[in-house]
Structure 1
Amino acid sequence: MSNNELNTEDKIFEAAKNVFLLYGYHGTTLQQIATIAGVNTAAIHYYFRSKENIYALVLKNNLSLLSEFLNTKEYWPNHEFKSSFFRAINKNINIAHNVWFIVNEIKVNNLLITELIKTDEEINGLINSIFNNSPNLKIMKRLITCQLTEIINQDLKNNLMHKCE
């Protein structure tokens, strides 16, 4: 579905997912979301009431995607974990970014996340199902390691290019 086919609420939500993923809760403003969605901030308040509400929905969405990914057994046959892991990443390229977002937000916005866990049963359930499962934690560790390796390799490549200029 293209951006033109989305209704206003969906445009705002899609913009919020992207902005929160890039900047986190504290680095995101409603104006940034509004600009990307092509609406004014009043529209965000109309549909979502507050930054906290739209953030909770984005967090819930990311947790749901991660939970679904981790629980898709076709990706994790025990005898060939490494190849299955990379096949899964290639099919779900954004999942590494979701893991990074979730882990970072839990670390940086601990008070807000704790409050959401207390007040939102769905977020509470998703976090418990993801983080109280040792195999899930191992998979997430590999996802983060892959992403860090990618960042380091890109940084090294950029530094080498600058030295050659």
Structure 2
Amino acid sequence: GPLVAAVTGMPAGRLTDRFGAQRMTLLGLLAMTAGAVVLSLTPASLGVLGYVTPLAVVTAGYAVFQTANNTAVMADVGPGRRGVVSGMLGLSRNLGLVSGASLMGAVFAHGSATADIASAPAGAVAAGMRFTFLVAAVLILLALAAVAAAGRVSGRPDPAGDGTAARPGRGGWRRGW
């Protein structure tokens, strides 16, 4: 996961600059949904590769989503407020990570339908994982719907959505790639 996120980070930033935060947020959420759905349906007979490949898709989608989301959140923040907003963004992500991991742990326990997960049979663990990723896919689809609806009603332009976001370069500011 961390390796995929590290490799995806730079291209995700370039794609967000080129195609806009709204589109890349949607693309990231779609990739995360696809990976979670595949993880919920993949048979155990595919082994480690059947788990790692869709997990890489989820991780890459998350990297794209996070880059685009950071761009959208920070787009209208003035220089005097960037530190505070960036700190709040980090805090909200960490709170979501901690509470989400706890919630999904409870979902896994429910999906595995066993009282003692340490001595649970492999089939119960697999059922718990499938159920957990199915719930994750549904939650990501809800986020996807919220982002799509917000994009239709916001009325403001997508940050860097026209592919001409100004960036520093040699000799001052330039437009485009």
TM-score by length of 2: 0.29
Higher RCO (CA < 8 A, seq sep 6+): 2
More strand by share: 2
More helix by share: 1
